[in-house]
Structure 1
Amino acid sequence: MTLRALSAAVAAFVALTLGAAAFDMELSPYKVVSDLSGNLKSVGSDTMLHEMELWAEGFQSIYPNVKIDIEGKGSNTAPPALLSGEAQLGPMSRPMTPDEIGAFEAKFGYKPTAVLVAIDALAIYVHKDNPLQCVSMEQIERVFAANPKSGGGKSIRTWGELGLTGEWATKPIALFSRNTLSGTYKFFKQHVLSGGDFKDDIKMQVGSEAVVSAIGADKFAIGYSGIGYKTSAVRAVPISAGKACYGATFDNTYSRKYPLARGLYICLLKDPKKPIDTLSGEFVKYVLSRDGQTQAKKGGYYPITRNIREHELTRLGLLASAN
Structure 2
Amino acid sequence: MLKLKHALAAVAAAGSLSLCAHVAADVDPALPDYNRVSGISGNLSSIGSDTLNNLMTLWAEEFNKLYPNVNVQIQGAGSSTAPPALTESTAMLAPMSRGMRQSEIQQFEERFGYPPTELPVAVDMLAVYVNRDNPIESLSLPEVDAIFSATRRCGYSQDVTRWGELGLDGDWQNRDFALYSRNAVSGTYGFFKDNAMCGGDFKSSINEQPGSSSVVQGVTESINGIGYSGIGYRTSGVRVVPLAATEGGEVFEATPENAASGDYPLARYLFVYINKHPNRDLDPMTREFVKMIYSKLGQEVVDRDGFVTLPAVLTNRILGELGIE
TM-score by length of 2: 0.93
What is the alpha-carbon distance in structure 1 between the residues aligned to residue 179 and residue 96 of structure 2?
24
Give the CA deviation at 1:170: 1.1
Cα distance per residue 1:257-287 (max 9 Å; x no partner) = 1000000111010011111111101001101
Question: Relative to 1, partners in 2 of residues 1:11 and 1:38: Cα closer, same or farther, differing over 3 Å?
Answer: farther
Task: Establish whether residue 314 from structure 1 lines up as the match of residue 320 from structure 2.
Answer: yes
Q: Secondary structure at the match of 2:11?
A: coil
The separation in 1 between residues aligned to 2:130 and 2:179, in whole angstroms, is 10
**1:40 counterpart residue number:** 44
Match of 1:171 among 170, 175, 180: 175
Which secondary structure state, in structure 2, belongs to the residue aligned with residue 16 of structure 1?
A: helix
| 1:194 counterpart SS class | coil
Amino acid at match of 1:275: D
The CA distance in 2 between the partners of 1:21 and 1:123, in whole Å, is 20
Q: Could you tell me the TM-score, scaled by structure 1's length?
A: 0.94
Q: Is 2:24 aligned against 1:8?
A: no
Q: Name the residue aligned to 1:300.
A: 306
User: 1:150 Cα deviation (Å)?
Assistant: 3.6
Equivalent position of 1:200 in the other structure: 204
The equivalent of 1:234 in structure 2 is 238
3-state DSSP of counterpart to 2:203: coil
RMSD: 1.5
Q: CA deviation at 1:23?
A: 2.5
Percent of pairs with identical residues: 43
Secondary structure of the 1:121 match is strand
Matched letter for residue 61 of structure 1: K
Aligned residue pair count? 314
Counterpart Cα distance in 2 of 1:20 and 1:288: 16
Residue aligning to 1:111:
115
| Structure 1 match to 2:277 | 271
In structure 2, C-alpha distance between the alignment counterparts of 1:98 and 1:245, rounded to whole Å: 33
What pairs up with 1:237-252 in 2 under 5 angstroms? 237-242=241-246, 243-252=249-258
Q: Which of 218, 235, 238 is the equivalent residue of 1:214?
A: 218
**Matches of 1:140 and 1:21 in 2, distance apart?**
27
SS in 2 for 1:147: coil
Structure 1 gap segments, 5+ residues each: none
CA shift, 1:152, in A, is 5.2
Change (3 A) 1:44 1:123: same
Aligned residues of 1:10 and 1:263 also touching (Cα < 8 A): no
Q: Could you say what secondary structure the match of 1:51 adopts?
A: helix
- Mark the CA change 1:216 to 1:191 in structure 2 (over 3 Å): closer, same or farther: same
Paired letter, 1:249? T
Residue number in structure 2 paired with 1:67:
71
- In the alignment, the residues of structure 2 paired with residue 194 and residue 244 of structure 1 have an alpha-carbon distance, to the nearest angstrom, of 19
